[in-house]
Amino acid sequence: MRSDELFRRAQKIIPGGVSSPVRAIKPYPFYTVSGKGGRIKTADGTDLIDCCLGYGPLILGHAHETIKNAILEQLENGWLYGTPAEQEINMAERIIRDQPGIEMLRCVSSGSEATMAAIRLARGYTAKKKILKVEGGFHGAHDSVLIKAGSGATTLGIPDSAGIPPGVAEFTRQVPYNDPEALEQILAADPDIAAFILEPVMGNIGPILPDDNYLKEVREITKAHDVLLIFDEVITGYRLCIGGAAKEYGITPDLTTLGKIIGGGLPIGAFGGKREIMEMIAPAGPVYQAGTFSGNPLSLAAGIATIDYLNAHLEEYRHAEERTRAIEESLPSSAGGSFVRLNSIFKYFFRQNPPNNYKEAKESDTDAFGRFWKGALTKGVFLPPAQFESNFLSFAHTDEDIETIAGVYNSCLP
Ligand SMILES: *Cc1c(COP(=O)(O)O)cnc(C)c1O
């Protein structure tokens, strides 16, 4: 196989043979040579229905014409200026219009960079040192959040990365998801917590959905203790609906981080929130944050085109909801696991009931998942290769694709 050959070459010179850990499928990952709509083509000549979609950004599918044209138009005018450009204002205006609680916004180059900056900003604004996160929550790959982290870190069994000094880890505390009492206790006992950062819907371990009222209680408890609430909507922003989880659940956080979909498939991140807090960012204020590629015109062109397309096609969100429901309804009645879905995000857990937190998610039978995953791939459906990663549908998947996906769930589950 060509992929096998490529992986041998890669392993000699790239750690683990991959550029990001979750891609390291055993015995070797397939290499992708092209993508179009809801499908990708591998280096081995196989055509696959893609439910990974770059781990979330490609809500419109691969190589969407509208996005491609926006990128091409920008290419003609160059792709990096190092000066302000109107595109960044156009992006900020759209996100401020769409996402509750954002009065000012800054663009960066990845979701990791966005959460790193939002956390520093929260510390700078509150003059407190610690942050609180959810066990199994994933906020990118930097020191203060790679502690009990979800996504590939959990899949590979290293949720607490080596190389993070205890002195840094000490400043990150953890609380279980869907547990307002634990949140109240920890905030009441520790006055040095600047912010509570969470994925309002846990997208990197499932999805795991919030209990009724959980997010409302989170908002009330953080407010009562003068702790900033940061919604990490890197996955959920523009994925659940226009306005993300904040809109879906009617909760306004103090700060929000975004990424993935807002770059239309090109690298991006953004963080924003209340004016009073955001004005602490340099050069307006003393909290430093900077980036050579921040507000990159190419990413902004792709992102703005995506946001405009989504706003003009709201019916697609309803359509996606119907489609994940159709997949759920195709499950064999004998299936002993649990199917969780929210709009175009879905996942089958090899566990009797849908998990409510990290501890429960980790009780899933990952060996059974591995067998199911291989079966699905053999039948032409590429699912993210881990029990702890969400599956996605794009708006480009065809009715036939959905039937094939549903068929795979029907025939490959034990
Ligand atoms: C993907 C993700 C990140 C990290 O974004 P990158 O662009 O990979 O750095 C942060 N938070 C959440 C919730 C994510 O899903």
Q: How far is the CA of 13 from the centre of ligand 1 (A)?
A: 26
Q: What is the pLDDT of residue 206?
A: 84
Q: What is the pLDDT of residue 185?
A: 98
Dump the DSSP string for 6-64. Answer: HHHHHHHHSGGGSSSGGG--SS-PPPEEEEEBTEEEETTS-EEEESSGGGTT-TT-BT-
232 lines ligand 1 (CB under 6 A): yes
For residue 306, count other CB atoms closer than 10 A to its CB: 25
For residue 334, name the pLDDT band (cuts at 50, 70, 90): confident
Q: pLDDT for 363-411, tens place per residue? A: 999 999 999 999 999 999 999 999 999 999 999 999 999 999 999 999 9
Q: What is the pLDDT of residue 70?
A: 98
254 lines ligand 1 (CB under 6 A): no
Amino acid at 345: I
The structure tokens listed for 177 are 């998801």
Q: pLDDT for 166-216, tens place per residue? A: 889 999 999 999 999 999 999 999 999 999 999 999 999 989 999 999 999
- For atom 13 of ligand 1, the residue with the nearest CA is 234
Give the position, in ligand 1's atom list, of the atom nearest the Cα of 257. 11
256 lines ligand 1 (CB under 6 A): no
Q: What is the pLDDT of residue 286?
A: 98
Helices 297-312 and 65-76: crossing angle in degrees, nearest 10, is 150
Q: Which of 119, 155, 204 to mutate to test the pocket of ligand 1 (most atoms within 8 A of CB)?
A: 204
**152: pLDDT strictly greater than 80:** no
**159: pLDDT strictly greater than 90:** no
Span 327-352, average pLDDT: 94
Q: Which fold has domain 65-311?
A: Aspartate Aminotransferase; domain 2 (3.40.640)
Residue of higher predicted confidence among 66 and 154:
66
Residue 226 Ramachandran class (φ > 0 left, ψ -120 to 50 alpha, else beta): left
138 lines ligand 1 (CB under 6 A): yes
**156: pLDDT strictly greater than 80:** no
235 lines ligand 1 (CB under 6 A): yes
265 lines ligand 1 (CB under 6 A): no
Amino acid at 400: E
